[in-house]
Amino acid sequence: MQDYHSKLETRLIRYCEVDTQSDEESPTSPSTAIQLNLAKILAQELEAIGAQEVHITDYGVVLATVPATAEGPVIGMLAHMDTAPAYNAVGVKPRVIRGYNGGEITYPDAPGLVNSPARNPYLGEKVGHDLITASGATLLGADDKAGVAILMTLAEHLIANPDVPHGKVRLAFTPDEEIGRGVDARLPADLGADFAYTLDGGAVGEIEYESFSADGAKVKVVGVSTHPGTATGKMVNALHLAAKIIDMLPQATQTPEVVEGREGFWHITNIAGTAAEVEFSIILRDFELDGLAARGEMLQQVCAAVAATEPRATITCTIKPQYRNMRYWLEKDMTPVDLARDACRDAGIEPLSVPIRGGTDGSRLTEMGVPCPNIFTGMQDIHGPLEWVSVQDMAVATDVCLRLLTRAAKA
């Protein structure tokens, strides 16, 4: 295996220092202008390493081509630039834990914060690895800047070694994946790939072709506002009604903190408002469409029941589709999945396919006609201050992608 470690480490640290948090409340594309700061850096870097057809689309995707050196399918390789709105991402200070000793990891900016193999057993498998994490005050952003670093390093290696056989590779670095808007309707045509892969997975060996199906709901409660001193018989407190809706939803059996495996959930992501008016967002997740529909119906019924108790209030619930389980399309032709699995085996790794308890840009791309399973990067404990990734795991992912491309050219 090539020694990619230094370049992967340097790239990931540099990318993580750039704030690229997306914003689900923003109507623009990309949702935040700061994502374009990284897009411009990546475009310049792609040009410097010799990639072709480098440009940033008007919807914020960085596209580039690594020219073919052999006959083979056109393969898209994607990673997303944005970081999750779920946790602070301003002022990320990446740090390297060189030759991890297997003990507890502490954080300079968060006394008392600890990660350990007892909490995440996968961490215990990384003794001797070089781990990259943040300082405790922010997330790291390895989701998915680890994927970005892997693909950039892969592209540089391919361009510098034209004797490596591979078909045309189309690179895409997308914005807004974390808010479900990473795949613009124009991207499949602009990408021009026969099939593709997202580099947005976790543990080494994971080749994923199943994801949640997802809907997003907005609930708005409008009450009756008046001065609390003279509110008797007049005020309708929107906060109280919102609390009733939330309380009536099943919390002991259907929220993220109590489910696992193939179980779906509902999850409140934010709430804002006053006694006069409240709005909150709920994401609905299930691996099957009938289960997803049932969760939406449940939410609508709860809202209607609370509305019936107070006719002076107005309660609206709007549910919109976000993405669908990519298994529905990929299981009809498992060629891209089998190719990635064989590449893992070529690298001496037994592939593992588990359902993604989330979604990727690949979910949307697959639904839009570009088959797109997901490949591991090594990232762990994402969306929070404990996030980390092994540089060695990233190197393995780079090697697997290289083997995948060469295997496809020989097919």
C-alpha torsion angle, residues 272, 274, 275, 280 (rounded to 10): -10
Amino acid at 88: N
**CATH number corresponding to 214-322:** 3.30.70.360
* Per-residue confidence band for 24, with pLDDT thresholds at 50, 70 and 90: confident
Q: Is pLDDT above 90 for 98?
A: yes
Question: What is the model's pLDDT at position 253?
Answer: 92
Cα–Cα distance measured from residue 259 to residue 103, given in angstroms and rounded to the nearest whole number: 29
Catalytic pick among 82, 208, 310, 367: 82
Fold of domain 5-211+325-410: Aminopeptidase (3.40.630)
Structure tokens at 107: 């954080």
Question: What is the model's pLDDT at position 411?
Answer: 63
Mean pLDDT on 363-381: 97
Query: How do the domains of the chain map onto residue ranges?
Result: 5-211+325-410, 214-322
Q: 185-226: per-residue pLDDT in tens? A: 999 999 999 999 999 999 999 999 999 999 999 999 999 999
The full 3-state SS of 304-355, as one line of letters, equals HHHHHHCCCCEEEEEEEEEECCCHHHHCCCCHHHHHHHHHHHHCCCCCECCC
Question: What is the model's pLDDT at position 86?
Answer: 87
Catalytic pick among 177, 206, 367, 393: 177
The full 3-state SS of 233-299, as one line of letters, equals CCCECHHHHHHHHHHHCCCCCCCCCCCCCCCCEEEEEEEEECCCEEEEEEEEEECCHHHHHHHHHHH
Q: How many CB atoms lie within 10 A of CB 247?
A: 10
**End-to-end C-alpha distance for the chain, whole angstroms:** 22
Q: 289-345: per-residue pLDDT in tens? A: 999 999 999 999 999 999 999 999 999 999 999 999 999 999 999 999 999 999 999
Q: Is pLDDT above 70 for 1?
A: no
**Does 157 carry a binding-site annotation?**
no
Is 208 catalytic? The answer is no
**Does 383 carry a binding-site annotation?**
yes
Mean pLDDT on 167-179: 96
Report the chain's mean pLDDT, rounded to a whole number.
96
Cα–Cα distance measured from residue 28 to residue 37, given in angstroms and rounded to the nearest whole number: 16
Cα–Cα distance measured from residue 53 to residue 388, given in angstroms and rounded to the nearest whole number: 33
Q: How many CB atoms lie within 10 A of CB 4?
A: 24
Is 3 catalytic? The answer is no
**Does 178 carry a binding-site annotation?**
yes
Task: List, as own/partner pairs, every contact residues 267-271 make where C-beta atoms lie below 8 angstroms and the sequence separation is at least 24, other chains included.
Answer: 269/24, 269/86, 271/242
pTM metric for this prediction: 0.92
Mean pLDDT on 123-129: 98
What does the chain come to in residues?
Answer: 411
